[in-house]
Amino acid sequence: MPENAPRILVLDDETMILELCTAVLSAEGYLIDAVSDGNDAIALLDKNKYDAIISDIKMPSLSGSKFYEIIKKNYPELSKKIIFITGDALSIETKTFLEKTNVPYLIKPFRLNDLKEAVSRIL
């Protein structure tokens, strides 16, 4: 993999989603760091430079909305490089959050081509 390949941080508490995103995006030539905990994601952001972030919204330790607030405050250059993924697009809380942030999102289960296209658009 080329050293200058875009680096993407993937955050989701579902192992299957992490593995799927890692496999699909690695095959597209991206460098992927995948974690299942928001606090681990913050630690990686402190150590590495990322070109994009893919994050679930509903997670146990650190919600996607809290994660987004941390990104906006501490890594403002990445606040427009996030794609959210959610299986809970119908809840009022999630809808309100997505409308307020105006960040691109995919609804689980999503098509692999939709994932690739969303990443391509924000890079």
- Name beta bridge partners: 105: 84
What pLDDT is attached to residue 7?
A: 98
Record: fold of 7-122: Rossmann fold (3.40.50)
Q: Per-residue confidence at 92, pLDDT binned at 50, 70, 90? A: very high
User: Residue 1's pLDDT is what?
Assistant: 59
3-state secondary structure of 22: helix
| Burial classification of residue 39, based on how many CB atoms lie within 10 Å of its CB (0-12 exposed, 13-18 middle, 19 or more buried) | exposed
CA dist 69 → 6, 24, 52 (Å): 23, 28, 16
Residue-wise pLDDT for 5-63, tens only, equals 999 999 999 999 999 999 999 999 999 999 999 999 999 999 999 999 999 999 988 99
The ranges assigned to domains in the chain are 7-122
